[in-house]
Amino acid sequence: MKNIVIFGAPGSGKGTQSDKMIAKYGFEHISTGDVLRSEIKNGTELGKTAKKYIDNGQLIPDDLMIDILASVYDSFGKEHKGVIFDGFPRTIPQAEALKKMLAERGHKVASMVELDVPEDELMKRLLQRGQQSGRSDDNEETIKKRLSVYHNQTSPLIEWYEKEGIHHHINGFGELDRIFADISAVIDAL
């Protein structure tokens, strides 16, 4: 079982590279952003709460996210090939909770793969995505807030995972296939 955290700023290509990993390795996939957007679409209480944070570029409180994560993880059963965590963890308490949740099941994160992309490229990609996807948070003002939340609250996880000894840095700027080859090399070595 190879549980992988795919990590990076908004627009770093986590979703795109997750799709390639699912196709190649048969992994399961948890995108917490997708889970929240589907709750919003279905008009649930959780969706209503989440929308206020998302549209403001802020993170949903940790306790809510951690409950969601455990229930989605358990829905994959015990024999999966590995789960890609995409968009989670985003804070140190979330990383600690993930470690604990997995340990309680006799599992662990095998690798944290960081996609590193320059800031001006992130902005360019997210503005472009906003035009195509219509995502309410892909507008210039909210993107700026999300990038600053990434720097303040999420990027300290790089050091946290370095200390765990499972951080892998990937240059996320360039050809999609080269990036995927770099990710595959990390996964194959696990």
By CB under 6 A, name the binding residues for ligand AMP. Answer: 10, 32-33, 36, 53-54, 58-60, 65, 87-88, 90, 94, 137, 146
In the bound state with ligand AMP, the residue whose beta carbon lies nearer, of 27 and 150, is: 150
- Mapped onto helix, strand or coil, the DSSP state of residue 165 is coil
Closest approach, Cβ 81 to ligand AMP, in A, equals: 23
The answer on whether 102 is annotated among ligand-binding residues is no
For tokens 């070595």, what's the residue? 189
Residue facing ligand AMP at closest CB distance: 33
Q: How far apart are CA 190 and CA 188, in angstroms?
A: 6
| Residue 178 marked ligand-binding | no
Write down the least CB distance from residue 1 to ligand AMP, Å. 21
Give catalytic residue positions. 14, 90, 129, 135, 146
Q: Annotation-wise, does 88 bind a ligand?
A: yes
Min separation Cβ 93 and ligand AMP, Å: 10
Q: Which long-range contacts link 178-185 to residues 24+ away (Cβ below 8 Å)?
A: 179/13, 179/17, 179/115, 180/17, 180/20, 180/21, 183/17, 183/20, 183/21, 183/113, 184/24
DSSP 58: P
> Quick one: 11 exposed, middle or buried, by C-beta within 10 A (0-12, 13-18, 19+)?
buried
| 106 labelled ligand-binding | no
Least distance between ligand AMP and beta carbon 175 (Å) = 23
Task: Return all residues near 169 (Cβ < 8 A) that are at least 6 apart.
Answer: 114, 116
Annotated binding site for AMP: 32, 37, 58-60, 87-90, 94, 135, 146
